């Protein structure tokens, strides 16, 4: 009878949960497992750097529901500490698999290479960054441990850590193991009461509004959200982190709510509502427009995977998904969908003639008409993210941006991870020059795996976002010839863009050139900024100058 080894079981369970690709960089402590991976139905995707693998796995998890990164002990593991932290903060279920010294090798406490302090130093670090962690040191419990940890990733949509001592992947686990099931239900009484109270509050209200965030996507509730809006005729706004949880062409979609950073009419509608229904909302500073948001808990309900609060009533043991199903079954008062003016996203772009320099505002206007049904927008921190808030996303979940933890260097590797997770989409990667210099070389991975992202580098010669807060030479970066990367990588097309005409032409060419990546080096004025950043700055200035803001309504 064939026995299943620990490595094989881990692969089997990843596969059963939808993982088809594992990102990483190998090392001697994990080579045994890599060998098992290449003999399995999972594909290994080698990146240039572990941080690239971590961001790619995070994006893969955001798109497919589970991702995996596999690295060696400490030198690799500690490099994905930052990407795992981002996945934790923004709720992305990434399985971090790390090799480690074998259990037998540890006996006399030798100073093996890559060791930091104790053998469990890396494990301790990851305990802080994950929702569950394990060292598969005992074949008797290894399968159960894999079940437990993978369940936690899927249940809480957060990363987990699995350490594989190098003498274990090929060890047999216990025979005839069946994956453990972890059924979870709401308390029926609490659920009934919460739903009834919510329905009453909504039916009694004049102008309710749904505010949806990223958990709606993570918990697979996008269809339910849309149905709820269609059934009740209550419009939906999204947060920046939750951008694209609803297709932005839906007539009941208001736009991005982000306090003063968002469009004024969206802000007014949301803050003026007498019943704000927050679903899966993270109350982060960026989502709340750097705390310029004015939301009144007395006129709100907030339900997510961690809490269920209706005004000031808090309910225990009410699962987010059950609450939403409860709302869908309720009897609703008839109302009509309000008409809210929205900017026309399809306004044709007429480039200024000759040497009209390209500005951030005009860049995003032109990018809007570049988006198609097949585009996935991946934005990095900085004005790439703020500006992207106003882009018009055609479908659900076609926008990825680290809008809470906000680690620079996300977009290029995340764009690759996203395209590997869904090859039907072409990533449009928006990235500042500072962020590009951190992980942009992962374009080599795009070439190796025949991906074709379009990369727009917002080249403002530095950390533009920071310049608006406090400037100094520390905000400068060396200007690279980004458009010449194809020469280095032996593939791709590069474009140098300084004028509106050049931008128009380059994006036209990029749309046609689908064989490999395209990179646009968009040279901007160092002090230029997107309308969103501008709105925020003027609003903050207004607050600072003593213009007391009344609570809306």
Which parts of this chain interact with ligand TPP (CB under 6 A)? Answer: 381-384, 406-409, 432-435, 458, 460, 463-466
Partner whose binding site includes residue 173, from Mg ion, ligand TPP, none (CB under 5 to 8 Å by kind): none
Q: Which one, 33 or 404, has the nearer CB to ligand TPP?
A: 404
Q: Which one, 5 or 475, has the nearer CB to ligand TPP?
A: 475
By the rule CB under 5 A, 432 interacts with Mg ion: yes
User: How many CB atoms are closer than 10 A to CB 352?
Assistant: 14
Q: How far is the CB of 429 from Mg ion (least distance, A)?
A: 15
Partner whose binding site includes residue 406, from Mg ion, ligand TPP, none (CB under 5 to 8 Å by kind): ligand TPP
Q: Which one, 8 or 383, has the nearer CB to ligand TPP?
A: 383
Q: Which one, 435 or 491, has the nearer CB to ligand TPP?
A: 435
Count, residues near Mg ion per rule CB under 5 A: 5
Q: Please name the helix (run of DSSP H) or strand (run of DSSP E) that holds residue 11, with its range, or none.
A: helix 6-16
Give the residue, chosen from 24, 415, 427, 464, that forms a contact with Mg ion under the rule CB under 5 A.
464
Between CA 68 and CA 87 the distance in angstroms is 12
Give the residue, chosen from 300, 460, 502, 516, that forms a contact with Mg ion under the rule CB under 5 A.
460
Give the residue, chosen from 213, 433, 442, 528, that forms a contact with Mg ion under the rule CB under 5 A.
433
Q: How far is the CB of 60 from ligand TPP (least distance, A)?
A: 20
209 forms beta bridges with 276
Show the tokens assigned to 483: 């458009």
Partner whose binding site includes residue 242, from ligand TPP, Mg ion, none (CB under 5 to 8 Å by kind): none
Find, among 216, 266, 219, 258, the residue nearest to 240 by Cα.
Answer: 258
Q: How far is the CB of 472 from ligand TPP (least distance, A)?
A: 12
| First-to-final CA distance of the chain | 71
Partner whose binding site includes residue 466, from Mg ion, ligand TPP, none (CB under 5 to 8 Å by kind): ligand TPP
Q: Which one, 445 or 460, has the nearer CB to Mg ion?
A: 460
Q: Which one, 159 or 409, has the nearer CB to ligand TPP?
A: 409
By the rule CB under 5 A, 387 interacts with Mg ion: no
Grouping H, G, I as helix, E, B as strand and the rest as coil, residue 477 is: coil
Angle of helix 6-16 relative to helix 31-38, nearest 10 degrees? 50
Between CA 115 and CA 113 the distance in angstroms is 5
Find, among 145, 132, 137, 135, the residue nearest to 177 by Cα.
Answer: 145
The residues, any chain, with a CB within 8 Å of residue 537's CB and separated by 6 or more, are 468, 529
**For Mg ion, what does the binding mask look like between residues 434 and 453, x meaning CB under 5 A?**
x-------------------
Partner whose binding site includes residue 88, from ligand TPP, Mg ion, none (CB under 5 to 8 Å by kind): none
Show the tokens assigned to 470: 């406090």
Q: How far is the CB of 283 from ligand TPP (least distance, A)?
A: 20
Q: How far is the CB of 414 from Mg ion (least distance, A)?
A: 18
Show the tokens assigned to 73: 């002990």
Show the tokens assigned to 34: 């890599």
Question: CA torsion angle for 381, 383, 389, 391 (degrees, to 10)?
Answer: -120
Q: How far is the CB of 414 from ligand TPP (least distance, A)?
A: 13
By the rule CB under 5 A, 322 interacts with Mg ion: no
CA 212 to chain centre: 15
Q: Which one, 459 or 502, has the nearer CB to ligand TPP?
A: 459
Between CA 259 and CA 266 the distance in angstroms is 9
Q: How far is the CB of 359 from ligand TPP (least distance, A)?
A: 13
Alpha helices (H) in 408-530, listed in sequence order: 411-421, 433-439, 443-448, 464-467, 485-489, 500-512
From the DSSP assignment, how many helices (H) and strands (E) are in the chain?
20, 19
Partner whose binding site includes residue 381, from ligand TPP, Mg ion, none (CB under 5 to 8 Å by kind): ligand TPP
Partner whose binding site includes residue 383, from ligand TPP, Mg ion, none (CB under 5 to 8 Å by kind): ligand TPP
Find, among 325, 299, 89, 66, the residue nearest to 192 by Cα.
Answer: 325
Q: Which one, 460 or 530, has the nearer CB to Mg ion?
A: 460
Partner whose binding site includes residue 435, from ligand TPP, Mg ion, none (CB under 5 to 8 Å by kind): ligand TPP
Would you say 16 and 4 are in contact if contact means Cβ atoms under 8 Å apart? no
Q: Which one, 245 or 522, has the nearer CB to ligand TPP?
A: 522
The residues, any chain, with a CB within 8 Å of residue 529's CB and separated by 6 or more, are 360, 383, 386, 464, 468, 537
Q: How far is the CB of 112 from ligand TPP (least distance, A)?
A: 30
Q: How far is the CB of 378 from ligand TPP (least distance, A)?
A: 14
Q: How far is the CB of 188 from ligand TPP (least distance, A)?
A: 44
Q: How far is the CB of 497 from ligand TPP (least distance, A)?
A: 16
Hunting for tokens 């991906």 — which residue is that?
451
Q: How far is the CB of 74 from ligand TPP (least distance, A)?
A: 20
Find, among 394, 346, 390, the residue nearest to 374 by Cα.
Answer: 394
Q: Which one, 365 or 407, has the nearer CB to ligand TPP?
A: 407
Q: Which one, 387 or 464, has the nearer CB to Mg ion?
A: 464
Find, among 518, 529, 405, 528, the residue nearest to 457 by Cα.
Answer: 518
CA 363 to chain centre: 23
Q: Name the site residues for Mg ion (rule: CB under 5 A).
A: 432-434, 460, 464
């Amino acid at each position: 009878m064939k026995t299943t080894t620990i490595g094989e079981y881990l692969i089997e369970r990843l596969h059963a949960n939808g993982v088809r690709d594992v990102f990483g960089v190998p090392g001697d402590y994990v080579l045994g497992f890599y060998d098992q991976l290449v003999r399995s139905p999972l594909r290994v995707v080698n990146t240039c750097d572990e941080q690239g693998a971590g961001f790619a796995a995070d994006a893969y998890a955001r798109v497919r529901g589970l991702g995996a990164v596999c690295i060696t002990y400490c030198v690799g593991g500690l490099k994905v500490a930052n990407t795992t932290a981002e996945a934790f903060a923004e709720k992305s279920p990434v399985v971090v698999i790390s090799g480690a010294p074998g259990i037998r090798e540890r006996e006399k406490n030798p100073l093996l290479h890559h060791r930091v302090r104790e053998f469990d130093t890396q494990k301790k670090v990851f305990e802080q960054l994950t929702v569950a962690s394990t060292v598969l040191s005992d074949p008797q419990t290894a399968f159960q441990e894999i079940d437990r940890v993978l369940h936690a990733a899927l249940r809480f949509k957060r990363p987990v850590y699995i350490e594989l001592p190098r003498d274990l992947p090929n060890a047999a686990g216990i025979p005839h193991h069946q994956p453990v099931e972890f059924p979870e239900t709401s308390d029926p009484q609490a659920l009934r009461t919460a739903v009834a109270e919510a329905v009453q509050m909504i039916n009694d209200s004049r102008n309710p509004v749904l505010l949806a965030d990223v958990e709606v996507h993570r918990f697979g509730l996008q269809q339910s959200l849309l149905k709820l809006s269609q059934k009740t005729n209550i419009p939906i706004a999204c947060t920046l982190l939750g951008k694209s949880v609803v297709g932005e062409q839906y007539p009941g979609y208001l736009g991005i709510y982000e306090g003063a950073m968002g469009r004024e009419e969206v802000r007014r509608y949301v803050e003026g509502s007498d019943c704000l229904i927050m679903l899966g909302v993270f109350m982060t500073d960026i989502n709340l427009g750097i705390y310029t948001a004015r939301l009144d808990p007395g006129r709100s309900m907030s339900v997510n995977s961690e809490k269920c609060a209706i005004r000031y009533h808090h309910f225990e043991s009410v699962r987010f998904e059950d609450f939403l199903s409860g709302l869908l079954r309720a009897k609703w008062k008839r109302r009509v969908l309000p008409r809210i003016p929205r900017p026309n996203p399809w306004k044709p772009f007429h480039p200024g003639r000759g040497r009209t320099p390209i500005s951030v505002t005009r860049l995003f206007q032109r990018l809007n008409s570049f988006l198609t049904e097949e585009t996935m927008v991946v934005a990095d921190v900085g004005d790439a993210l703020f500006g992207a808030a106003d882009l018009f996303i055609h479908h659900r979940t076609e926008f990825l941006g680290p809008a809470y933890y906000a680690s620079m260097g996300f977009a290029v590797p995340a764009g690759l991870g996203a395209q590997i997770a869904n090859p039907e989409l072409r990533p449009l990667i928006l990235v500042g020059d500072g962020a590009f210099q951190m992980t942009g070389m992962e374009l080599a991975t795009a070439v190796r795996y025949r991906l074709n992202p379009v990369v727009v580098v917002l080249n403002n010669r530095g950390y533009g976002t920071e310049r608006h807060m406090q400037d100094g030479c520390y905000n400068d970066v060396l200007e690279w010839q980004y458009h010449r990367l194809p020469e280095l990588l032996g593939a791709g097309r590069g474009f140098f863009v300084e004028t509106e005409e050049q931008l128009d032409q380059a994006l036209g060419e990029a749309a046609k050139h689908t064989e490999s990546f395209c990179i646009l080096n968009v040279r901007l004025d160092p002090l230029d900024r997107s309308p969103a950043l501008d709105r925020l700055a003027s609003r903050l200035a207004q607050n600072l100058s003593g213009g007391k803001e009344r609570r809306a309504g």
